[in-house]
Structure 1
Amino acid sequence: MEKILRDTTDDGSNVKENPEQKRSGLVKRLASVSNQLKRMTSVSKPARLDRSKSTAGQALNGLKFISKADRGAGWTAVEKRFAKITKTNEGLLLRCNFGECIGMNSKDFALVLFDALARRRGMTRDVIDKDQLKDFWEQISDQNFDSRLMTFFDMMDKDGNGRLTEDEVREIINLSSSANNLPTIQKKADEYAAMIMEVLDPHKTGYIMVESLKELLMQAEAEPGLTNSKERKQLSQMLTEKLKPTLDPNPLRSWYHGVRFFVLDSWQRIWVIALWLMIMAILFIYKYTQYKNRAVYEVMGHCVCLAKGAAETLKLNMALILLPVCRNTITWLRAKTSLGVLVPFDDNINFHKVIAVGITIGVGIHAIAHLACDFPRLIAATPEAYMPLAKFYGEEQPKSYMHFVKSTEGITGLGMVFLMAIAFTLAMPWFRRGKLEKKLPGLLKKLASFNAFWYTHHLFVIVYILLIIHGYYLFLSKEWYKKTTWMYLAIPITLYACERLIRAFRSSIETVKVLKAPAYPGNVLNLHMSRPKNFEYKSGQYMFINCPAVSQFEWHPFSITSAPQDDYLSVHIKSLGDWTKAINRVFAEVTSKPPPVGDMLHGSNNPVFPKIMIDGPYGAPAQDYRKYEVVLLVGLGIGATPMISIIKDIINNTDAKEQGQLIQMDKGSQKESQGKKERFKTRRAYFYWVTREQGSYDWFKNIMNEIAERDRSKVIELHNYCTSVYEEDDARSALIHMLQSISYAKSGRDIVSETRVKSHFAKPNWEDVYKQVAMDHPGANVGVFYCGSPVLTKELRRLALEFTHNTNTRFSFHKENF
């Protein structure tokens, strides 16, 4: 296998095809199609299509009418849906329910398909019975490509004369673009219909035949893939076989391998969590033993020991929970020290959450032990048993719970529990990410928002004040040196307070001016700001933004989309929560009407934009991409923002390196300085951007074009995936795929993204993506960086582990956490 890997990469020219060469080859194939059509039509006048015959076409996989997304599970599933839908209609299926019955979620496309199938059979009614539905189903599920092609042609051929006019082509373009949610293509339907007629109707007869359509569709299907060599196909099959899970007959060995891989992949997290648990255990045991040897144990028993042991872990955790959110400190440690080798700084927020769970458990044990165990035992104690405890609880023995509730310890304890319960509850993803917003009534909807999380999380200020008071007025500890709560908290609180003071100071002196604020489809606001003189950052980092016009207090993190070499700062803000919607609205109100899509507001007539304050930059996992020779960058929707800065930085550094080499060659030296360690190691980058809407491409259209144009060394491989478009073998996207091939061959521009980067349809096959990288870079250490919703995290991490363990290419997975 390793030999194949070496042989494959030794001849890189056979593996990767220059995009210009690929486009040139596509142009030649289209010209060939046009010439073939001319020869075909010059022999004899095109005859009407004989629908009783099927041409001997290849058994291609395209033009499927039932996709995976529609879950057409076969005739059995269709029968069940038919029975359910026609239950009240005497066994007759209405035309409007046809799509639902066959499992097609594109209603308009299903209606046109119904009409085409009915037209072929000479049917004029808008209802069919079960036998007719089965006949329809057999045709649309036919595995023969020619049969599916005839069905597709029938859909376009509205008058059934066997010829397609430009108007009929325009109609199917409108239908396809609507089914795939591609409004830009729909607006240019006239232009694209004329383009198809130009290619398929070389003699200007005014119509095209099914043979012409088939020829072009087959050319689109036959575009060369990436795995076109025999060796690569063999290697791909070997990797596939190797990745298949195998059941080890020895369960002990299987368990050992699983544990070994887990430890190898997570050793940084393991030692940190193990150390934390060990310290908590030591503190708990220490306090438990201490109170077991005191007089109170005779009355309160193990209850007081449990309460005090839990309290000691609470002090530790209330101190530790502040450290993961000391972002300036973490950024400095990440950049200036080598601690990142041992400490998983990427997991700071996850560790913050783990500590919060520890606090919850500690509070539960402490409160239950007091309220349900030792306090009742104290109240029920005999006067003789109580006498040694009088110096702690007073000469008069407590008679009820109210004695403890009314005390300083009781009020502060219950107050902390109440405030922490609010903060912890609203920090849950269901509230913080607004998942429950639609389910909550009236005013409670505001609780399911990031704003509610942000404000309630700042209740910690009151909680820490109450904690210090609670720790000072203890029943059983009167000497000041035994009241250790303030000792635990002193350094973390001081450090965190300094962090907040730095933010206030830095944001006041690092003033920025908004230069322009274009608005893009998908409710995205792009802020271009002046760059403070001493604002140094790395690609992949983020900064906090405050807009006083929205809120004086709220600061929100956003990835920096400009490159470190740019003389401005840029962020993209998508309207997802209360604050982001508000800032989009505030900037839109600056002008008399919302700014047009992509309109760049700049020049001497600039409106006065709302004030913006920034704080940062702060460290993020993606900033470490430079230490990998190969990087796989994955952005989901607006999660592409840190990756955009990275690919710009890669191009800038590649250009700078090439310029430096040229200067060295001019000076007669081809060797770099021996004493200078190269910091920028990246030699190859793969960027996958997955987005739902065609309009999203406007966010970074200019940047994509710039990268494609400047990347002369082909360092970066760009992949755009539009998930609103059906798979490339789906009949609903067949015409879009064909248009894409024609347009890209003619102009070098993609019709979906309207950039020089050709778009793919539906979702990527991530296993194939990893496999491709593993084949191209055997033995390499590949950095995988992902930013986006948690939906993809599990799959990308799993694949990184599987390929690391089953191939000689190591994948290191990193995810952005905010």
Structure 2
Amino acid sequence: MVDWITNEAPRWLVLSVWIIINVVLFVITYLRYYNADDYYYLRELTGGKSLASARASAMCLKFNTMLILLPVCRKLISFVRGSCSCCPQPLRRQLDKTITYHQYLAYMICIHSAIHIGAHCFNFENLSEAQRIRGDDIKNYLSRLPLSPNGTWINPIRTTNPDPLRELFKTVAGVSGVVITLCLVIIVTSSTEIIRRSYFELFWFTHHIFIVYLVGFLIHGVGMIVRRQSNLDNHPLSSCKDKPTDWGTGQCAVPQFEGTPSDSWMWLLVPMVIYLIERIARLVSGMQRVVIIKVVTHPSRVFELRMQKKGFSAAPGQYILIQCPSISRLEWHPFTLTSAPNDDFFSVHIRRVGDWTEELAKLCHVDEGDFQEAWKMPSLYVDGPFGTATEDVLAYDVSVLVGCGIGVTPFASVLKSFWYRFCHDQRVSLQHLHLFWVCPDTSSFEWFQSLLLDLERQMRQRDTTGLLTVSIYLTRGWNANQARNIVLHDDSSVYDAVTGLHHKTQYGRPNWEPIFKELAENHKGLKTGVFFCGPKQLSTTLHKLCNRFSKLEDKTRFVYNKEHF
């Protein structure tokens, strides 16, 4: 039970509250339009279930569209993280899942959009069919009420033999509905994982169609084609609904109808203002001058940018967005900060793996060796820093850092900050730090290997090697015979033949179950934070192991945290 409470309960609590609100909004709105007397005649024309379904799904669309912008307000989330440091950690950790919640909201919007579109297809078909009916049928009388701005009309379709599709495009609701549906399709399809990973610019640009989506959403209901009866006192349904031939005589006045004003703006006003303030704040922050004070070339096509910016401060594990106008005025790329808060600069390590990074390396004169004069450096804009789960590494009794390949980058700042605090007798609750680095070949990230060597040297000088345990797993670039020879050589040496560390490199992929079993035995009764940055498959495995090895009887807890960018 403790495993579920630790890692799953807060997330499911948030999701449960959200789902319950959606269900309550849907049911209340559905019953209102299915049973209310003022919509009786509209139900006669459209069908009660389709009308109620369309309006109920519209209400849920307003609610979820109101929320969907908030999880992507990076500055707001970072501010909340900093402001609620005294909040219970399980609730604080939900701020690390904002992108996941953003995706859930998008799924819910898609579901209710499908219901809304499907229901209105039935509605327009029924409205069109009502125009074809003749005789004493009540639909015939309702469809022929006069059409005027303040008149009694209820059926927006006026032609005698209508085509539902053509009639749809004669209304503001129809045209705007098609536009926002197309926007939604483009946004969702370009958000798939393969597009995000392989064509990030396409994902970034198409995602900004959300502006068109929101504008269409706001004007969707201005035509007020969903009309309610406004004179129930002069036209009581109990005595008049079955006598259309008596309308306008005696006690049955001709039914009067009025449009239902759109209230979408009321739902979207606050989040849109918050998002606008967020974008302005990020624009102002991003346009502040950044000075490149040093460019360091590392092995394996990695270079380090050391920068300074007035008023800049960051916590360990945070990341920034960098824009280089000389390359593109629209592209912002995320990079994890590798400097510690105590440094008088902030830095990022960039691997040259694409057109943008190659162009940046050229502009920074990386291949020319010596650092060029500041005026020769390109202008850079930096937005951030923004918070991540890694900020909480130092808040646990024990922390386990698991990085795959370049996923080890977020932990560089954490290691530096932890060692600095320890050396300067600053209060740190962290008792032990485990680093697991799973990489195809260490040469790809030799800069991080150098950091580990330097850190290990300092720890051995102060006789504090027990604070940090490093486990490196090399998954490629060797065969069984080479691994056997290296291991035999390592037995006679205190240094690892591959990394030069005292901690020996292991070959192959780690077997995580015995690793977690050993961690649970060595840190019984302690709260252990597990921090991961890497592929989804391994994330699932580690998450399950954190749940399995958390024990209620001895209060051993493994709290799982994953990096999200």
State which drifts further: 390-399 or 451-460. Answer: 390-399
- Structure 2 residue corresponding to 1:533, chosen from 310, 314, 336: 310
State which drifts further: 477-486 or 567-576. Answer: 477-486
Alignment of structure 1 residues 323-338 onto 2, 5 Å: 323-337=70-84, 338=86
* Distance of 1:426 and 1:807 partners within structure 2: 47
Preserved CA contact (<8 Å) 1:704 1:757: no
Alignment of structure 1 residues 232-271 onto 2, 5 Å: 262=4, 265-271=7-13
Q: Check 1:781–1:510 CA distance in 2 against 1; reply closer, same or farther (3 A cut).
A: farther
Structure 2: 5+ residue stretches without partners: 134-139, 148-152, 229-257
One-letter code of the match for 2:69? Answer: L
The alpha-carbon deviation at position 313 of structure 1 amounts to 0.6
Preserved CA contact (<8 Å) 1:630 1:781: yes
One-letter code of the match for 2:204? Answer: W
The alpha-carbon deviation at position 472 of structure 1 amounts to 2.5
- Structure 2 residue corresponding to 1:595, chosen from 340, 364, 367: 367
* Residue in structure 2 matched with residue 814 of structure 1 by the alignment: 561
- The one-character-per-residue Cα deviations of 1:725-745 (angstroms, maximum 9, x if unpaired) are 558xx3342112233444x44
* Distance of 2:289 and 2:220 partners within structure 1: 40
* Distance of 1:637 and 1:389 partners within structure 2: 71
Preserved CA contact (<8 Å) 1:518 1:525: yes
- The one-character-per-residue Cα deviations of 1:415-436 (angstroms, maximum 9, x if unpaired) are 11111111111101122122xx
Matched, 1:780 2:526: yes
The alpha-carbon deviation at position 323 of structure 1 amounts to 0.9
Preserved CA contact (<8 Å) 1:561 1:645: yes
SS at match of 1:772: helix
- Structure 2 residue corresponding to 1:359, chosen from 104, 109, 133: 109
SS at match of 2:363: coil
Preserved CA contact (<8 Å) 2:3 2:548: no
- Structure 2 residue corresponding to 1:791, chosen from 537, 540, 565: 537
- Structure 1 residue corresponding to 2:17, chosen from 242, 265, 275: 275
The alpha-carbon deviation at position 261 of structure 1 amounts to 5.3
* Residue in structure 1 matched with residue 420 of structure 2 by the alignment: 652
SS at match of 1:474: coil
* Residue in structure 1 matched with residue 118 of structure 2 by the alignment: 368
User: How well do the aligned residues superpose, as a CA RMSD in angstroms?
Assistant: 2.5
Q: Check 1:480–1:504 CA distance in 2 against 1; reply closer, same or farther (3 A cut).
A: farther
One-letter code of the match for 1:272? Answer: V
The alpha-carbon deviation at position 652 of structure 1 amounts to 0.5
TM-score under structure 2 normalisation?
Answer: 0.84
SS at match of 1:813: strand
Matched, 1:484 2:268: no
* Residue in structure 1 matched with residue 184 of structure 2 by the alignment: 420
The alpha-carbon deviation at position 755 of structure 1 amounts to 4.8
Q: Check 1:495–1:520 CA distance in 2 against 1; reply closer, same or farther (3 A cut).
A: farther
SS at match of 1:707: helix
Preserved CA contact (<8 Å) 1:529 1:568: yes
* Residue in structure 2 matched with residue 684 of structure 1 by the alignment: 432
The alpha-carbon deviation at position 544 of structure 1 amounts to 1.4
* Residue in structure 1 matched with residue 143 of structure 2 by the alignment: 386
- Structure 2 residue corresponding to 1:553, chosen from 330, 334, 337: 330
Alignment of structure 1 residues 173-188 onto 2, 5 Å: none
SS at match of 2:385: strand
- Structure 2 residue corresponding to 1:465, chosen from 215, 219, 225: 215
The alpha-carbon deviation at position 473 of structure 1 amounts to 2.9
One-letter code of the match for 2:367? Answer: P
Q: Check 1:314–1:706 CA distance in 2 against 1; reply closer, same or farther (3 A cut).
A: same
- The one-character-per-residue Cα deviations of 1:230-273 (angstroms, maximum 9, x if unpaired) are xxxxxxxxxxxxxxxxxxxxxxxxxxx7xx85455311111211
Q: Check 1:564–1:298 CA distance in 2 against 1; reply closer, same or farther (3 A cut).
A: same
The alpha-carbon deviation at position 511 of structure 1 amounts to 2.4
* Distance of 1:606 and 1:691 partners within structure 2: 35
Alignment of structure 1 residues 2-401 onto 2, 5 Å: 262=4, 265-292=7-34, 293=36, 294=39, 295-301=41-47, 302-337=49-84, 338-339=86-87, 341-342=90-91, 344-371=94-121, 373-381=122-130, 382=133, 383-387=140-144, 391-394=153-156, 396-397=158-159, 399-400=162-163, 401=165
Preserved CA contact (<8 Å) 1:319 1:489: yes
* Distance of 2:310 and 2:159 partners within structure 1: 68
Return the structure number with greater strand share: 2
- The one-character-per-residue Cα deviations of 1:760-815 (angstroms, maximum 9, x if unpaired) are 22222212221222222110000000012223101111111110048732100100
Q: Point out the structure with max Rg over C-alpha.
A: 1
* Residue in structure 2 matched with residue 474 of structure 1 by the alignment: 224
* Distance of 2:115 and 2:146 partners within structure 1: 23
SS at match of 1:278: helix
The alpha-carbon deviation at position 526 of structure 1 amounts to 2.7
One-letter code of the match for 1:513? Answer: I
* Residue in structure 2 matched with residue 573 of structure 1 by the alignment: 350
* Distance of 1:489 and 1:389 partners within structure 2: 35
* Distance of 1:515 and 1:342 partners within structure 2: 40
- The one-character-per-residue Cα deviations of 1:109-142 (angstroms, maximum 9, x if unpaired) are xxxxxxxxxxxxxxxxxxxxxxxxxxxxxxxxxx
* Distance of 2:222 and 2:44 partners within structure 1: 24
One-letter code of the match for 2:31? Answer: T
* Residue in structure 2 matched with residue 623 of structure 1 by the alignment: 391
One-letter code of the match for 1:534? Answer: G
SS at match of 2:106: helix
SS at match of 2:436: strand
Q: Check 1:422–1:524 CA distance in 2 against 1; reply closer, same or farther (3 A cut).
A: farther
Matched, 1:707 2:455: yes
Q: Check 1:374–1:323 CA distance in 2 against 1; reply closer, same or farther (3 A cut).
A: same
Preserved CA contact (<8 Å) 1:477 1:483: no
Report % sequence identity.
29
* Distance of 2:430 and 2:6 partners within structure 1: 24
Preserved CA contact (<8 Å) 1:725 1:761: no
* Residue in structure 2 matched with residue 768 of structure 1 by the alignment: 514
One-letter code of the match for 1:556? Answer: H
Aligned length: 508
Preserved CA contact (<8 Å) 1:590 1:607: no
SS at match of 1:515: strand
Preserved CA contact (<8 Å) 1:725 1:762: no
* Distance of 1:569 and 1:274 partners within structure 2: 40
SS at match of 1:471: coil
SS at match of 2:340: coil
